[in-house]
Chain A
Amino acid sequence: MRWLPKPEYSPAETLRGCTQADEGTWRVLVSLAQTQLSNLEILQVDRCLRRLFPDRPPAWLTAPGTRLKLLGTSTFDHLLPFLRVGALRHGLWLTTSTGDYGQCTLQAGDEGHDTVLLAHDARTLLAGLNAAASASEAEDEGERIAQRIVAAWRDAQAAGCGVIQQTILPVFPSVFGNAEHRLPGSRAAAVERLNLRLQTLADAEGVDLVAVHRHAAQEGLAAWHDPALWHRAKQEIHPGAAPLYGDLVARVIGARQGRSRKVLVLDLDNTLWGGVIGDDGIAGIVLGQGSAAGEAFVEFQHFVRDLSRRGVILAVSSKNEEASARRPFEAHPDMVLRLADIACFAANWTDKAANLRAISERLAIGLDAFVFVDDNPAERALVRRELPMVAVPELPDDPSGYPALLGDAGFFEATRLSDEDRHRSEQYQANRLRRSVEPASVTDMAGYLSSLDMLLHWGAVDAASLPRVVQLINKSNQFNLTTRRTTDAALAESLRNRRAVSLQLRLVDRFGNNGLIAVVLARHDGEGLRVTDWLMSCRVLKRGVEAATFNVLLAEARRVGARHLLGTFRPTGKNAMVSDHYRTLGFDLLATEEDGTTQWGMAVDAASLLPVPMRIEPPVLARLAVGFAA
């Protein structure tokens, strides 16, 4: 289940802390179940779960507990822990019991469960089919099998149980070849026909299917079934598939209780298209024909639109100027999604957890029905930390994998399609909810930032970093104080001046190396150290890099003996987000020019370092001390 994040702490360690049967422990167990665990770790989670919450659903759960009885003809004891932990992952409490081996119908007086999961193994079910059978014999046998299954459903329903049927696993090798379907007595072909037949029958009888045959087709039969384990232990479902099997059953149970997720919140840059709209512009983003990545983003948008058409509500949360974030929706020829598809549009610079809260309020839908999709691991970590009830899938590096990942994760599992589903997005449009959202942050940013374990490396621009520095200078539009473009030769020439001060900054965090993310160019002109260029990648916005860069700059000012720090903001129409940059850092406004350009200054002696949530390498404190001494 590759959409689950890796656990932040060792699962064994977490489980050792789970001793009280209280709500806090329950939540810890749910979060743990929502991470990638090995089979043995799931086994340990299950033991803890059963020890603390053995007999009845915890009082604080609004969802009813499920008492599941498994009936079938193979061994499924090895699946039980995975069913219980699968339910836990969906916030559900579930106990399991099993019928006698080989027993597929409820016995009279067999009570104490509310849901029956029927799991027929293919070999037993189709044992009566002879490869030499005529077409009518094969058809009769197929129908007999189907009706036997239906009879078992009705027995369970008569006993007051809901019924879930596992489809038949296609374990039989082909005996006829590509034309397998032309051999009436083929068991491989019979399984295919039976699974189709079960779909029709299940609809008529109010039964829900767990479509293992589709997963076996998708992930390969070997992932689901090992004949050796069948012969050794009558295990039809491979233990390796047990975690997903448990999740599939839990999805169906959750969907029956109306607990599936309903809202998909999407990031924009590098999620719906490649590149950064605020920097690259509408002609520069990667979307549509002409590049493989551009086509992959188009396909993802088609997938998202399909979700919307079946009733999933779409929202946007993007760190952008609102006008530029909307531009592709309005004007890019290859955009599949349109503003009309988006129920709530939140493009601003506030943290995403605050935006998700605001979207939830606006839509009047709880955050536990939200899925948040963002390519940036730091954003995902923030939302997971602040809003653990929101589902936040890990994404593959390549956008071509986004649709399959989201499809496989099954967040939007549904059992029936209603008319309301078909028209839901229109309803939200009709309600005129599609307004923009601008929340106030109430997120614990300090705690989050310190959890990122950030390290800022800085140095002067040198020959090695020059090409990348020039690239960043020429493509940054939004966080760019003066937006002066340059060339390799021109920058190299200006850096040769002995009064030039240059900084290039790189940021590493626990998700990896963000590379070169900020550049400052300045010149010591007697009056002070005058900052001519200050720009930063928006990817690391709101992470304290601005303040840390200021600290480095202040240290440099002291090193060169400057009495003042001077800065300029020149508006371009795209860089409104930094109009107050110098004020925020404690500079005084010196002058405002006709074109809106502002000049700022600060006395170096009076200035002090700002608190920052990261280590700076080389550290600036030592350098400041030298500055003071000198």
Chain B
Amino acid sequence: MSTAGILQDLTDIVRIVLDHDDVVLTMATVATDVPDWDSMSHIMILVESERHFGMKFRTSEIEDLHNVGEFVDLIAQRTEG
């Protein structure tokens, strides 16, 4: 799956979880840029991403993420592997 495709799917998930239809994610977006992206919705976004992309993230991987781009790359790596 392409980086752009992953970013688009991730955007769809974030929009539903946060209930903001106009959220636009870029590779540089960080959670604090997005209204209502708090620790509770963060967990939901991670869990729904795991379900959507059919993979499970390690706690250490999650804790290392600094922005959306790193998350997209993590998913892309896993999709290839």
User: Which residues from chain A sit less than 8 Å from chain B, CB to CB?
Assistant: 38-40, 43-44, 47, 75, 77-78, 228-229, 231-233, 235, 239-240
Contacts and interface: CB of A to CB of B under 8 A. Distances in A.
Given A39-B51, A40-B17, A44-B16, A78 B59 contact: no
A74 B13 CA distance: 25
A244 to B, nearest CB: 15
Interface of B is mostly: helix
B16 A40 contact: yes
Contacts of B62: 232
A2 to B, nearest CB: 17
A276 B44 CA distance: 49
B48 interface: yes
Given A77-B40, A233-B43, A239-B47, A228 B16 contact: no
A228 B50 CA distance: 13
A233 B39 contact: yes
A78 B16 contact: no
B47 A229 contact: yes
Question: Size range of the interface on B?
Answer: 10 to 19
B19 interface: yes
Contacts of A38: 51
Interface of A is mostly: helix
A240 B56 CA distance: 13
Contact of A233 (B13, B40, B58): B40
Contacts of B59: 228, 231-232
11 contacts: A38-B51, A39-B48, A39-B51, A43-B16, A44-B16, A78-B40, A78-B43, A229-B43, A232-B59, A235-B43, A240-B47
Q: Which 8 A-B pairs have the closest CB atoms?
A: A233-B43, A40-B16, A239-B47, A228-B59, A77-B40, A47-B19, A40-B48, A232-B59
A135 B71 CA distance: 50
Nearest to A234: B43
B55 to A, nearest CB: 13
Contacts of A39: 48, 51
A239 B17 CA distance: 13
A519 to B, nearest CB: 47
Contacts of B48: 39-40
Contacts of A43: 16-17
B40 A40 contact: no
A491 to B, nearest CB: 52
B33 to A, nearest CB: 21
A237 to B, nearest CB: 12
Contacts of B40: 75, 77-78, 233
Given A39-B51, A233-B39, A239 B44 contact: yes
A84 to B, nearest CB: 15
Interface string B35-57: 00001100110011001000000
A229 to B, nearest CB: 7
Contacts of B39: 233
